[in-house]
Structures are given as structure tokens and as C-alpha cells.
């Protein structure tokens, strides 16, 4: 179906940057720079600078960014890692595949880890906390880092959805020992395929991940130091990402402008809970504009009939701890389950024009006008 307002608009995104993208691809291929070359190193340097860390290491996905981070800090079988169920399966899969045990806590009204529940989840086996900065909003990092320091726990940030988001003036990814970002096509900064990156201030962690991503071989000495992986960020994608990185501030401001238009246009609808939360320390980048409604299925059908493409990701609409095959059913997470039944992502992306935003708003208003008449 061709939507009037698609959830993401890759063709328009490409057309706006078509000339510099084609030029970048031509330059890289003309030089024969395909694997672990200058373009990747330049992107890693600029990405680290943007986040506010000393090091960045490009890998093949956000999933591997988290997995290799856990391996690099030395997670052992049986180590407990505290995180949330209201997240992509990749977060918890990285923990399990690294040999850790996921300990799931509930989320707050802003969809992020409820830091007030952290301490009761800590046991003598707890090794790390993995906060997920969901939908482009940071977790409460003051509280979280205070707890982590008190119990001597490592913090690994899952910043896949929040590049550019800030808490207390610092960008997410710069708080923990290490952080993983996804550069999947539909993220704030997206490749034209799978990609991810790890950031850290710790040179030993950065070195270990750079070796682990490349079969465990230290390219400077030729020594194989670990049984590693093939998890390199493709050099051609790195060059494209490096080109796009300069536009991130502009794209974030457009997302925030769309979010504000939604806020002004939808605030008079009491059936909608909008994703605008208190706290002057937060700078949200709105990867997703997540609203909550009681009659989700009916509203989704209405929006699609209007030519608007909403999204309700499967792994969030059914919480991870409710998937029987995962063996996580022991956790009681009432707020997570409530959100899972009610949330919808409305279209929000830098390619949207004001007319499209207003059209989504009118579609929502019309739906609730009709509902009121019934």
C-alpha cells in the first residue's frame, strides 16, 4: 500500500542526498577501500566526538555492539544483567548470548527503566545494568549511575534509539563504561543496511572490541588474541554514515518540531496520552512518537484507511517476558504490560512536511469525533 504519510520515507531521504551519496560511493569504490579502511576510521573518530567519548568502534549491528560490549567487560556465565522487557529482543538476546542472565525491571511512564526499582533487583550475582534509552529519550542517569556506583556495577548503555538525546547536558552513550548504538536504516543515523557502533572512554575496552570484531586478530601484530567474530562495519556504509553525520543536528531539530506540532494539535484529545514528560534535564530526539490509547486496534485500522502508516513493533506489543520460548515469565511487570496493550508509534521523520503532520492530526481528531458521536 502506498501511504500518504509513510512511517519512514527512504526514497525521499535518498533523493535529498542523492548527489553526495553517489559521489561518496564512487570515491570509495574508485579507491578500492572496502574493509577497515580510512573512511571507517574517520567515521569512528567523528562519531566518538559527537557523542562525547574518546573512542568508537564500528561493528556490523546494534545487536553486536551490545554483545561485544558484554564480552569485552568479561561477563561470565551466571552473571546477572539488569535491563527491561519493554525493548527490542536484541537487548536481552545480547545478554543471554554472552552468557549472562537477564533480570527484568519495569518501566516508568516515559517507557524507560524505572530507576526506583533498581536496588530491589540487585543480588550478589549482579554484574551490570543495561539501561535502554527508548524512543529517543534518555533514562534518569543521575539516579542510575548513583546506584551503579554504590554497588560497584558496570553500566552498558543501550543507546540504539537515542543518538543525540541528552541528559543533564551530556549525550547518551557518554555515561556508562561502554555504550552500543544501532545504525540500522530507520534510526536517527541510518546506514543503507545493517550497521552499529560501540563508544567508550576506556582504551582497553575499545582495543578489545576492535580485535573481537575482526576474528580476534590484532592487525598491528598479527597475533590472534581471542576466538573472535566477523562483525566489522562495512567501509562503504561507514563512508555514507560519515556523510550523513553532519546532518544529525538538523534532522533532530526537525523531529522535535514535528513532535511539537503533534503536541499542539493533539493535546485536546483526552483519550490520547502523548510522549511529553517533565524534567528539565532531558533533551528528547523523538526517534519514535509514541502515544498510548485504550482502543489501539480500532485506531490503527482507521489510520491505515486514511493512508497513514502507524507502527506497533511485535516485540513491544507482546512483551519479551510473555514469549514462552524465552523463559522469562517469572517477572511481574505491570506497567510494561499496560504500555504493550496501548502504544502506537505515529509517523515522525525529517522527511515529513507540515502538511503531512497536519493530516495525521486531522485523521486522529476525526476518529475521536466519530467515536464521541457513537
Q: Work out the angle between the directed axes of helices 296-305 and 354-373 (0-180°, nearest 10).
A: 130
> Using one digit for the tens of pLDDT, what is the confidence trace for 122-164?
999 999 999 999 999 999 999 999 999 999 999 999 999 999 9
Do 185 and 10 form a contact (C-beta atoms < 8 A)? yes
CATH 3.90.1150.10 in the chain is located at 248-373
> Using one digit for the tens of pLDDT, what is the confidence trace for 356-368?
999 999 999 999 9
In this model, does residue 1 exceed pLDDT 80? no
Q: How far, in Å, CA of 64 to CA of 197, rounded?
A: 9
91-95, 239-243, 267-271: which range is least confident on average? 267-271
> DSSP string covering 176-193, please?
SSEEEEE--TTSSS--SS
CATH 3.40.640.10 in the chain is located at 10-245
In this model, does residue 74 exceed pLDDT 80? yes
Sheet holding 166-167, edge to edge: 170-171, 166-167, 282-283
Q: Note the pTM of the prediction, 2 decimals.
A: 0.96
Per-residue pLDDT band at 2 (split at 50, 70, 90): confident
Q: Work out the angle between the directed axes of helices 18-31 and 235-245 (0-180°, nearest 10).
A: 140
Q: How far, in Å, CA of 357 to CA of 347, rounded?
A: 8
- CATH number listed for the domain at residues 10-245: 3.40.640.10
In this model, does residue 373 exceed pLDDT 80? no
- At residue 372, the pLDDT reads 65
> Using one digit for the tens of pLDDT, what is the confidence trace for 276-301?
998 899 999 999 999 999 999 999 99
For the domain with range 248-373, which CATH number is right: 2.40.40.20, 3.90.1150.10, 3.90.480.10, 3.40.50.300? 3.90.1150.10
Amino acid at each position: 500500500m502506498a501511504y500518504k504519510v509513510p512511517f519512514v520515507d527512504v526514497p525521499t531521504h535518498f533523493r535529498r542526498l542523492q548527489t553526495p551519496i553517489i559521489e561518496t560511493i564512487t570515491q570509495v569504490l574508485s579507491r578500492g577501500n572496502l574493509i577497515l579502511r580510512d573512511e571507517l576510521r574517520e567515521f569512528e573518530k567523528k562519531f566518538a566526538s559527537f557523542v562525547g567519548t574518546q573512542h568508537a568502534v564500528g561493528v556490523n549491528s546494534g545487536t553486536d555492539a551490545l554483545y561485544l560490549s558484554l564480552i569485552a567487560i568479561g561477563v561470565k556465565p551466571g552473571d546477572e544483567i539488569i535491563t527491561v522487557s519493554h525493548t527490542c529482543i536484541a537487548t536481552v538476546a545480547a545478554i543471554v548470548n554472552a552468557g549472562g542472565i537477564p533480570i527484568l525491571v519495569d518501566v516508568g511512564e516515559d517507557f524507560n527503566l524505572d530507576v526506583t526499582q533498581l536496588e530491589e533487583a540487585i543480588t550478589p550475582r549482579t554484574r551490570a545494568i543495561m539501561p535502554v534509552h527508548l524512543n529517543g529519550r534518555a533514562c534518569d542517569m543521575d539516579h542510575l549511575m548513583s546506584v551503579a556506583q554504590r554497588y560497584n556495577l558496570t553500566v552498558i548503555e543501550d543507546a540504539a534509539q537515542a543518538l543525540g538525546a541528552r541528559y543533564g547536558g551530556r549525550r547518551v552513550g557518554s555515561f556508562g563504561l561502554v555504550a552500543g548504538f544501532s545504525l540500522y536504516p530507520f534510526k536517527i543515523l541510518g546506514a543503507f543496511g545493517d550497521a552499529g557502533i560501540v563508544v567508550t572512554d576506556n582504551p582497553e575496552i575499545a582495543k578489545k572490541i576492535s580485535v573481537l570484531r575482526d576474528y580476534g586478530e590484532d592487525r598491528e601484530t598479527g597475533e590472534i588474541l581471542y576466538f573472535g567474530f566477523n562483525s566489522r562495519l562495512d567501509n562503504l556504509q561507514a563512508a555514507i554514515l560519515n556523510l550523513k553525520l553532519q546532518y544529525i543536528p538538523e534532522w533532530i531539530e526537525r523531529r522535535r518540531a514535528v513532535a511539537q506540532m503533534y503536541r499542539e494539535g493533539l493535546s485536546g484529545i483526552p483519550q490520547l496520552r502523548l510522549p511529553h514528560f517533565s524534567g528539565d534535564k532531558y533533551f528528547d530526539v523523538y526517534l519514535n512518537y509514541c502515544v498510548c490509547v485504550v482502543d489501539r486496534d480500532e485506531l490503527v485500522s482507521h489510520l491505515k484507511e486514511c493512508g497513514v502508516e502507524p507502527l506497533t513493533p511485535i516485540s513491544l506489543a507482546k512483551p519479551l517476558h510473555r514469549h514462552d520460548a524465552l523463559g522469562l515469565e517469572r517477572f511481574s511487570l505491570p506497567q510494561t504490560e499496560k504500555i504493550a496493550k496501548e502504544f502506537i508509534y505515529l509517523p515522525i521523520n525529517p522527511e515529513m512536511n507540515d502538511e503531512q503532520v497536519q493530516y495525521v492530526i486531522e485523521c486522529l481528531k476525526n476518529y475521536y469525533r466519530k467515536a464521541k458521536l457513537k
